[in-house]
Copies of this chain bind each other. A is one copy, B any other.
């Protein structure tokens, strides 16, 4: 449910607030990853996310590029131009206002690893050509009448996706006017996830730090990450208790990718870590 942006999980948790979730003491979610392969991490912040969809339409149906090519104003070059307005060669987001609400690092946490993964980013992971993308593998000579784009944007903190949604939409619409294309462009925001931040001085984290030292023999790195798990903040709000993200896997596990793995070391030591943390909760 979480991975596809569930429309029911949040409502269900809210409905269980005064029953199943009433006597919760602390919340631990183990769904993310270390930022390396050697040193354990505890995650106290998530960037949140915003999904956008941009559609450029140049006609009501796909056209044969041999017959219509050169005469029709294609949708795809417009979309590509728009996408190229979003980040520069260094990956810096070109949309004014997007960085305004990014939470600054406190001095005590401003180590280089934390800085890296606190930067909002714009990841263009999907371009679609409607309505024929599957068939296009055998026939490449039709110009698509529509081009879509979905973007996954990790934001900084509250007010999160609602504000970011307005900023990005306005930016793209302004750029579109500059483009001066005769085509039709629509930008809309899909689901978003609010950013999350937790108190890492809470006994929940203190217990986890101690347990990590006991199992791995080193202090964990405290991270804010962008592997956004929007339900985290819902757990925080519904229970009113401290929420901790306890990564079990390593950075090279390849989440959602080919040959996803978990190392034997992390599987075994991670199991020990969970037991140790549960035991330490008993001491509260």
A interface residue numbers (CB < 8 A to B): 3-4, 32-33, 35, 47, 51, 61-71, 73-74, 76-78, 80-81, 83-84, 86-87, 89-91, 116-121, 123-127, 129, 131-132, 135-136, 138-144, 150, 152, 154, 179-181, 225-228, 251, 254-258
Residues of B within 8 Å of A125, CB to CB, are: 65, 76, 129, 136, 140-144
Closest to A4 in B: B138
Provide the bound-state CA to CA distance between A32 and B67, in Å: 9
Task: State whether B65 touches A123 (Cβ < 8 A).
Answer: yes
A129 CB contacts on chain B under 8 angstroms = 125-126
Q: Which residue of B lies closest to A131 (CB)?
A: B258
- Residue among B69, B77, B121, B139 making CB contact with A70, cutoff 8 Å: B121
A228 touches B132 (CB 8 A): no
Contacts of A142 in B (CB 8 A): 125, 255-257
Are A152 and B140 closer than 8 Å at their CB atoms?
Answer: yes
Additional pairs, 16, CB under 8 Å, beyond known A64-B254, A70-B118: A33-B64, A62-B256, A65-B121, A65-B154, A66-B228, A69-B117, A69-B154, A70-B117, A74-B124, A77-B86, A78-B89, A80-B84, A81-B89, A89-B179, A139-B256, A142-B257
List 10 A–B pairs whose Cβ atoms lie within 8 Å, in order of A's numbering: A66-B154, A67-B117, A67-B251, A69-B117, A70-B121, A71-B116, A78-B89, A123-B143, A125-B142, A139-B256
Measured CB to CB, the closest approach of chain B to A249, in angstroms, equals 10
CA distance A78 to B80 in the complex (A): 11
Nearest CB in chain B: distance from A248 CB, A: 14
Complex Cα distance, B83 from A119, in Å, reads 27
In the complex, are the beta carbons of B140 and A150 less than 8 A apart? yes
Q: Are the CB atoms of A66 and B81 closer together than 8 Å?
A: no
B140→A126 contact, CB < 8 A: yes
Distance of A70 Cα from B77 Cα, bound (Å): 26
The answer to whether A257 and B61 have CB atoms under 8 Å apart is yes
User: How far, in Å, is A128 (CB) from chain B's closest CB?
Assistant: 9
Distance of A192 Cα from B152 Cα, bound (Å): 37
Pairwise interchain contact B117-A255, C-beta atoms closer than 8 A: no
Q: Do residues A77 and B91 form an inter-chain contact, with CB atoms below 8 A? A: yes
User: How long is the Cα–Cα vector from A142 to B255 in the complex, in angstroms?
Assistant: 8
Determine whether the beta carbon of A255 is less than 8 Å from that of B64.
Answer: yes
Please indicate the chain B residues that have their CB under 8 angstroms from the CB of A73 in the complex. Answer: 90-91
